[in-house]
């Protein structure tokens, strides 16, 4: 409803298609608290729209699909590009992290390379990633992560510096919100 007057029916339909694709990809996933995983990408998109005032269709589509590649065995960047264009496919690829690796040296290398890819990628990818981290931090009290303190520490050490280094107003807002959530755990 909010986007219709701003974007027109074609762009709204593209966003609805991304919504449906994300819903299908995540349909059988549950979070630790039993809630549907699909609610997470919708909340990330809501942060972009409601808190940051971002209405760019490609950014909203990317937010809806930001976990789709890592959570699907059949979805590919080529399918995303065919349906939503090269920009969306590229951004989703930048935001996709290999999650099927156990803790250890390989996991640490993957995590380090992922953070570096975000740092070197477009600002849009970092904004979406920080919205992702913000949503997860807001949900930590619902048993979202096995080790919430580790998650908060990782966010503080690897992701918040991306916002601290930026003068972008969206990044500054996200930094302020992430600090509020961090303070709930570390004071």
- Annotated catalytic, 90? no
| Given 1, 20, 51, 70, the catalytic residue | 70
Burial class (CB within 10 angstroms; exposed 0-12, middle 13-18, buried 19+) of 121 = middle
> How far is Cα 81 from Cα 67, in angstroms, rounded to an integer?
15
Contact 121, 94 (CB under 8 A): yes
> How far is Cα 85 from Cα 107, in angstroms, rounded to an integer?
31
- Annotated catalytic, 73? no
| Given 71, 81, 111, 168, the catalytic residue | 71
Specify the DSSP class assigned to residue 156. Answer: I
Residue numbers annotated as active site: 70-71
């Amino acid at each position: 409803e909010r986007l219709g007057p701003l974007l027109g029916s074609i762009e709204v339909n593209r966003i609805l298609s991304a919504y449906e694709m994300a819903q299908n990809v995540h349909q059988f996933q549950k979070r630790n608290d039993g809630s549907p995983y699909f609610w997470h990408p919708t909340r990330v998109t809501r942060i972009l729209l409601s808190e940051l005032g971002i209405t760019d269709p490609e950014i909203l589509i990317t937010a809806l699909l930001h976990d789709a590649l890592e959570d699907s065995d059949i979805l590919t960047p080529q399918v995303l590009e065919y349906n939503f264009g090269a920009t969306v496919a590229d951004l989703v690829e930048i935001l996709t992290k290999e999650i099927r690796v156990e803790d250890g040296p390989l996991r640490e290398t993957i995590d380090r390379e992922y953070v570096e890819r975000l740092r070197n990628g477009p600002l849009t990818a970092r904004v979406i990633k920080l919205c992702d981290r913000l949503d997860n931090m807001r949900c930590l009290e619902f048993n979202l992560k096995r080790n919430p303190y580790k998650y908060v520490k990782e966010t503080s050490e690897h992701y918040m510096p991306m916002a601290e280094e930026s003068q972008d107003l969206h990044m500054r807002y996200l930094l302020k919100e992430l600090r509020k959530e961090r303070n709930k755990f570390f004071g």
